[in-house]
Amino acid sequence: MTQQPDTQEQAEFLYELWDANWDDGPLGNYKVLAHPVTRKTARRIYFTRNGHRAGFVDRRRIEADGEVFYRPLARTLHLNPPEIPSQPKPPSLLELKRAMANAHPDRPEGTHEAFIAARARYEQARAATPAP
């Protein structure tokens, strides 16, 4: 009787979605980092990161879910390369104008500070938009 090859055995890397601007907020400068797998046991998958630091994850959990949270990195590691999230679409001038109107102090939820901030966003977007 021949033994079926384990499909997870072919994975040579654990992947991490990394944002180069993580400390400035989610600016969308994402990269997928590949950490080489060095050894697999029945309970753990061992890997290296940064070429020299060793780590391990629970093999059963990552093979069942396809990903696992790795606490030392405070990130999720994946068996397959994760998709890079798309950048959110910037708001249109019409949306910014509506937000500015809703933030007006004469409106029930509006305040002077919120209106000033909304107007600044609208004016900045309007200046960056080329004239038709």
Does the global pTM surpass 0.75?
Answer: no
26-54 pLDDT, tens digit per residue, is: 556 788 899 999 999 999 999 998 777 88
Residue 88 lies in a domain: no
* Same domain membership, residue 117 and residue 72: no
Residue 124 lies in a domain: yes
Domain of 34, in residue numbers: 11-78
DSSP 8-class letter at 15: E
* Same domain membership, residue 58 and residue 105: no
> What would the mean pLDDT of 59-73 be, rounded to a whole number?
92
Residue 123 lies in a domain: yes
* Same domain membership, residue 26 and residue 57: yes
Residue 87 lies in a domain: no
- Whether the CB-CB separation of 104 and 92 falls below 8 Å is answered with no
* Same domain membership, residue 99 and residue 62: no
- Alpha carbons 106 and 101: distance in angstroms, whole number: 9
Residue 26 lies in a domain: yes
